[in-house]
Amino acid sequence: MQLTESFRQATDSLLANKLRSFLTLLALVIGVFSVIVSTTAVAVLDNFFSNTMSILGSDVVTVQKNPAVQMAPRDASLRNRKNITFEDAERLEELVKLAEGVGSINAFSFTSVSFGDEKTEPNVIIRGGNSEFIENNAFTLEDGRNINAEDVQYKRNVVVLGKDVQQDLFKNEYPLGKTIRIDGQPYLVIGLLEKKGQILGSSFDNIAIIPYSTGIKNYGGNRGIAIQLRAPEISKLSETIEEVTGIMRVIRDVGPLDDNDFEITTNDSLAGTFDGFTALLYGLGFVVGFITLAGAGIGVMNIMLVSVTERTREIGVRKSVGATKKAIITQFLMEAVYICQVGGLIGMIIGILGGNMVAVWIETDMVIPMGWVFGSFFGMLMIGLLFGVYPAYKAAQLDPIESLRYE
């Protein structure tokens, strides 16, 4: 039998029993959709996270009080940890030999910034840092100068502005050398940052960087911070972490037998945590999809068995004019595969569109998980063959004479 004829008969069979065919297709669509929508959404998040990590740099090490990612509620040991302080950062900077670029990272305020009659929304983050802040956080200085050691030493009211703040305040003037006001204090604009972008609708560019010592003077220094530093090269990242860990244990007076009361994270460690999380999501999506598709496969077998019964006379006629058992089996198997592929194609289209709604929401690139798409095609082929083989075999075993008598 020609392939096109088999497809035509399969289509006629679906259209002849619209409700039953719809319910069978619906089960197939839901099964494939549940797999594809979850894997597409996870692939979008994975792609987004990879792009984010590429922005931040792979040689940066962060020392902080608590883990960067917490999958469970904080236990008492975490809650009772001492804050990391500016004094800790200064001592670490004095003692390290291998690590470089040591600097604190702290948000002193979320506030509005003004210049003349112009004023930003009250959502500008005021960061305190030293000359290393820009490089540690993968910013690029577009014009002007960076914060220097003298700015920190003399607690000068100087500021480096992110691109969003520049555009909000200085529509008709160039920002460099102008004086802005932050929480009632005047600050001289000494530097301008290039645009960096945003994550989850939160902009990297809505920022103003001041010397951390100035922040302590104007906002107070009794607060917890994180410390950033860099390995001199990627190959020495592990050595850098070991050095920093030993020094921080001394600074924080951690006993020889006690666990660290601080966390050290890198982009690689964050990526490893995220990879484990995405693997779990992939696994859950596969399990849910497998169970749903198994139920859909039973529905395919049911509709094919009913089709064999309804077409008993047709099978008898075909056998009486010379159709072999192999031809009958091939026809019914192709019909089962056809039904599965139609349902699978619809489920994949809807699943890819649904999964990429996450990309629209977080404003990142859309993703088509080609591996899972090809896997779904193969999976639906196997379901069609597996659950269609018994109805096909039953059709091939029918006696032609009894079939011609069937009413």
Beta strand spans in 112-151 (E): 113-115, 118-119, 124-129, 141-144
- pLDDT, residue 52, reads 64
Same domain, 243 and 312: no
Same domain, 7 and 121: no
Most confident segment among 8-22, 254-268, 274-288? 254-268
Q: Which of 261, 289, 318 delimits the end of a domain?
A: 261
> Which pTM was predicted?
0.64
The answer to whether 267 and 136 have CB atoms below 8 angstroms apart is: no
- pLDDT, residue 400, reads 67
The answer to whether 354 and 33 have CB atoms below 8 angstroms apart is: yes
Residue 311 has pLDDT above 80, yes or no: no
Same domain, 223 and 304: no
The answer to whether 86 and 225 have CB atoms below 8 angstroms apart is: yes
- Position 296 confidence tier, pLDDT thresholds 50, 70, 90: confident
For the ranges 27-31, 99-103, 341-345, the lowest mean pLDDT is seen at: 27-31
284 in any annotated domain: yes
Beta strand spans in 15-99 (E): 60-64
Which residues form the domain of 386? 3-52+272-405
Q: Taking the CA atoms of 261, 266, 269 and 271 in sequence, report the sign of the dihedral they define.
A: positive
Count structural domains, the chain: 2
Same domain, 326 and 247: no
58 in any annotated domain: no
Q: Provide the percentage of residues in the chain whose pLDDT is more than 90.
A: 28
Same domain, 192 and 295: no
Higher pLDDT: 379 or 143? It is 143
Same domain, 16 and 143: no
